[in-house]
Amino acid sequence: MNTKQIHRFVLKYLEATQCEILDKSPYHIKVKLSQAADRELTNRPYYWSFIDRLNETPETMSFLFVTDEEKYEATVAQQPVEEPKLLTPEEKAMERAYGIVPKPLPRIPREHLHFGSSRLKQLFESAENNGSYVCLYQEPQTRTLHPYDSRPYTVWLGINYMVEFSCDLKREEIHSLGISLVTGHCQEQFYDRLTSMRLSPRLPANVHIAKNGISYTKALSIAESHLEKRLKSYNYEWAEKAQARLQEELERLEGFYKPLLAQATDEEQKLEIEQLKEKREEEIRWQYEPRVTVSVINSGIFHLDGID
């Protein structure tokens, strides 16, 4: 992710959570958080439980998120320093009485959102937690429909899979599959198809949903066997190597502990060594054992135009 992509992401997140954008440039966003976003991001559970219990109006936090530190500094440097405002009569009175004029604006914390920063990581996690399950309808592409015509829509189960290949090393792949509940047909890169169309949470007019031919459970197993077939065709040299390393290490342990066990004088000592050996073996398996894990990033029910 470059700074531009980060900026876009943050802006979209803040908009999706209905935050109030106070000021922005391509390099920064000044924002007053919505209640939902404040609860999600500011880690103030006591404050919120206080507000909830007393039914008080909450004061949400504001932030200055800087996405491009260098360019932001440059623009700030160019701006003229603001003239101090003239005091109103009330403020003058305050100043006479107390010696100070209370500042109305609280300080806005400034944060640099770069890739790897903890705030950005928090936004990522928040998005992942709050964007898991959707139910959406495609908006009709053309408005030329006859008012009494009805377009058939197909229900799709869309799944974004994360495939993890790991031993002591790790890599990942994202697989997006869509399964038509009408035909059982399985489509790859389904997410790309979704992002190219307009989707809405409401059923459009003049649309009817085709009858499902298969159950959700059946669709799931179609998706899994499709993915399984894909994965079977991969090269597993890495896993073979990891297995070999694992065996080698286990033999090494055997060689190390065998003489120790032979030398052990009493049962207690023997047991102790035995336990240590088991522990080491367990660790080595934990470290090297190859595994492929398929988890789901998010999924949803999508009602799309046409029968396929």
- Closer of 110 and 170 to another protein (Cβ): 170
Half-sphere exposure of residue 52, counting CA atoms within 13 Å on the CB side? 9
Q: Taking CB under 8 A as the rule, does residue 4 contact another protein?
A: no
Picking from 130, 133, 129, the residue whose alpha carbon sits closest to that of residue 158 is: 133
List 64, 209, 253, 264, residue binding another protein (CB under 8 A) = 253
Picking from 14, 7, 1, 294, the residue whose alpha carbon sits closest to that of residue 127 is: 14
By rule CB under 8 A, what string of x and - marks binding of each residue 260-289 to another protein?
x---------------x--xx-xx--xxxx
Secondary structure of residue 87 in the 3-state scheme = coil
Q: Taking CB under 8 A as the rule, does residue 168 contact another protein?
A: yes
Q: Taking CB under 8 A as the rule, does residue 73 contact another protein?
A: no
Buried b (16+ CB within 10 A) or exposed e, 1-40: eebeebbebbbebbeebebeeeebeebbbbbbbbeebbbb
Of residues 36-65, those binding another protein (CB under 8 A): none
Of residues 183-202, those binding another protein (CB under 8 A): 191, 195, 199-201
Cβ atoms 188, 243 nearer than 8 A: no
Picking from 77, 90, 82, 75, the residue whose alpha carbon sits closest to that of residue 28 is: 75
Find the shortest distance in angstroms from Cβ 188 to another protein. 15
By rule CB under 8 A, what string of x and - marks binding of each residue 104-133 to another protein?
----------xxxxx----xxx-xx-xxxx
Binding window for another protein (CB under 8 A); candidates: 23-31, 87-95, 96-104, 240-248: 240-248
